[in-house]
Structure 1
Amino acid sequence: MLTMLAKFLKILGSDASPLQIAFGFALALFIGLTPFFSLHNLVILFIAFVTRVNLGAFFLASAIFTLIAYLIDPWSISLGEYLLTLPDLQTVWTSLYQSDFWRAFKFNHTLLMGSLAISVIAFIPVLILSYVFVVFYRHKFMAWVEKLKITKWLKASKFYKVYEEMGA
């Protein structure tokens, strides 16, 4: 737990641009909220590796969103069932399922469809909120924390040594 917190603080204080970190968090939605062994996750991993995304933020946020996924799975299943049974979309789902390419993505599963819909809906808000959080942390909070006396005490502790080792 201490190591994960140190990694998170290291990512926030790194030289990576806030947008790279925020995009890593936002892309991690898809990996974390949807079932892991899905073909679309390979596409998301490819995007993460090809673009200038902070991979540390991506993998850390994936772990966090995976924990959140267990809490929201019932709502994801309900949303997926709703989307898959909408009469207006039946022809779309039928045509996708009749194609071998789209059938491989397994969009006909309620959990996958619902969690993918939640990921798509939450992508832009998570991108914006994480960007604002990183900028706020770097400009306001990090400077304020450096001035505290407790910071000097923490720098002498094991936590800071773990934090520093992450940078070496």
Structure 2
Amino acid sequence: MFNFVGKFFKLLNGDASPGQIALGFSFALFIGLTPFFSLHNLIIFFFVFAIRVNLGAFFLGSAVFALLAFGIDPLSIKVGEYLLNDPDLLSMWTELYQSDVWRAFKFNHTLLLGSVVISILLFIPMLFISRFIVSTYRVRIMKWFEKLKISKMLKASKFYKYYERLGE
């Protein structure tokens, strides 16, 4: 737990741009909220490794969203069930299921479809919110904390040197 919190603050205090960290958290929505062994997750991993995304934020966000997924799964199932049972969309789902490519994505499963839709809907808000949080933290909280006497004392202690060695 201590190591997890330490890595999170090291990520926030690091050199990565807020946009890269925000993209990492946003792509982590898909990996964390959806069932892991899905074809669409290969596509997400491709995007993460192809563009400039902070991998620490991506893997940290994936772990956090995977824990949150247990609470969100009932909602995901309801969304997927609603979409799959909608009479207006029934012919589209039938046509997609006839194609081998779309059948491989397994969007006929309520949990998978619902969690992908929720991840798509939350992607842009997560991008802006996490970028705002990281930028605000770096401008206000980090600089304020560095000026405190207690933080200067902590940086001089053996505890802080141990903390820095954990991050390496």
TM-score when normalising by structure 1: 0.94
Structure 2: unaligned runs, 5 residues or longer = none
Report 1:4-15 matches (<5 A): 4-15=4-15
Once residues 150 and 142 of structure 2 are traced to their aligned partners in structure 1, the CA distance between those partners, rounded to angstroms, is: 13
Equivalent position of 1:86 in the other structure = 86
The structure-2 alpha-carbon separation of the partners of 1:162 and 1:128, relative to structure 1 and needing over 3 Å to count, comes to: farther
Once residues 84 and 127 of structure 2 are traced to their aligned partners in structure 1, the CA distance between those partners, rounded to angstroms, is: 27
TM-score when normalising by structure 2: 0.94
Equivalent position of 2:23 in the other structure = 23
Give 3-state SS (helix, strand or coil) of 1:31's partner.
Answer: helix
Give the drift of 1:166. Answer: 4.7
Report 1:96-135 matches (<5 A): 96-135=96-135
Contact 1:7–1:163 (8 Å) recurs in 2: no
**RMSD of aligned Cα (Å):** 1.3
Equivalent position of 1:55 in the other structure = 55
Give 3-state SS (helix, strand or coil) of 1:134's partner.
Answer: helix
Contact 1:18–1:134 (8 Å) recurs in 2: yes
Give the drift of 1:152. Answer: 3.0
Structure 1: unaligned runs, 5 residues or longer = none
Report the AA paired with residue 108 of structure 2: N
Equivalent position of 2:64 in the other structure = 64
Once residues 157 and 77 of structure 1 are traced to their aligned partners in structure 2, the CA distance between those partners, rounded to angstroms, is: 50
- Give the percent of matched residue pairs that are identical in Structure 1 and Structure 2: 62
Aligned length: 167
Greater CA drift, 144-153 or 31-40: 144-153
Give the drift of 1:46. Answer: 0.7
The structure-2 alpha-carbon separation of the partners of 1:35 and 1:99, relative to structure 1 and needing over 3 Å to count, comes to: same
Report the AA paired with residue 9 of structure 1: F
